[in-house]
Chains A and B, each alone.
Chain A
Amino acid sequence: MILGYALTFMFACIGLAFALNIWRLFTAPTLTDRIVTLDTMTINAIALVVLYGIRAGTGLYLEAAVLLALTGFLGTVAYCKFLLRGSIIE
């Protein structure tokens, strides 16, 4: 009962955060801000997957969350490395 309300509240919060992130992605003043925004979007996506797992009542979705955490970090580092050095694998 109360768990359902809390889940709905957090779904709404993460959805609103996603909307703010997408708006930021289009209006970001610098390129680095876009990378920060993409990183935040990955974090929000992890939260969304975990929430869906809680609602579905299985632990299966946690593996998707692990993969998102891995690829999100690698993506951020690769974008930064490209801007810093001009190539990702030297």
Chain B
Amino acid sequence: MTPILQTAIELIVAAGLVGGGFFALVGSWGLIRLPRPMQRLHAPTKATTIGVGAALLASSIGSLPVTGTVSIQEWLITLFLLLTAPISALFLAKTLILRGEADPDLPDPGTGTPWATLGQERPDP
């Protein structure tokens, strides 16, 4: 591996780390800063997708000069995080609606029935 290529890889990894750190900070700051509960669901997704994503990308490329291959495990973590983020967001939004903590001007679902989270029969726990 030529030195110039090594420097280029190091620069890419450093850029990924700096960007990832910045966005992780933005995600946690938005959690405090945003005024409404449904908006606060949105802030940590930046930390998930860009923050951790950039760090994992940097780790994956950073292993290239050491081992000679791009490691695959980071991509699995990124894939898993991207797959599970919408599911947990859906559950959190349902919790907000059920507990009445969502915005008061929640739009109508458009099916003629109330929101499914509120309308269904709840079993005795």
Name the interface residues of B68-83: CB closer than 8 Å to any CB of A.
71, 73-74, 76-77, 80-81
* Interface range for A: 35 or more
B interface secondary structure, majority? helix
A20 in contact with B44 (CB, 8 Å):
no
Contact of B32 (CB < 8 Å), options: A14, A23, A84: A23
**With A and B bound together, what is the CA distance between A76 and B45 in angstroms?**
14
Compute the total of residue contacts between A and B using a CB distance below 8 Å.
170
Contact of A47 (CB < 8 Å), options: B18, B51, B99, B123: B51
A7 in contact with B25 (CB, 8 Å):
no
* Interface range for B: 35 or more
A76-B91 contact given A13-B22, A24-B31, CB 8 Å threshold? yes
**With A and B bound together, what is the CA distance between A28 and B11 in angstroms?**
39
A13-B24 contact given A44-B47, A66-B80, A80-B91, CB 8 Å threshold? yes
Chain A residue numbers with a CB within 8 Å of B10 are 2-3
A10-B17 contact given A47-B24, A84-B91, CB 8 Å threshold? yes
B residues adjacent to A (C-beta < 8 A):
10-11, 13-15, 17-18, 20-22, 24-25, 27-29, 31-32, 37, 40-41, 44, 47-48, 51-52, 55-56, 58-59, 62-63, 66, 71, 73-74, 76-77, 80-81, 84, 87-88, 91-92, 94-96, 98-99, 101, 117, 122-125
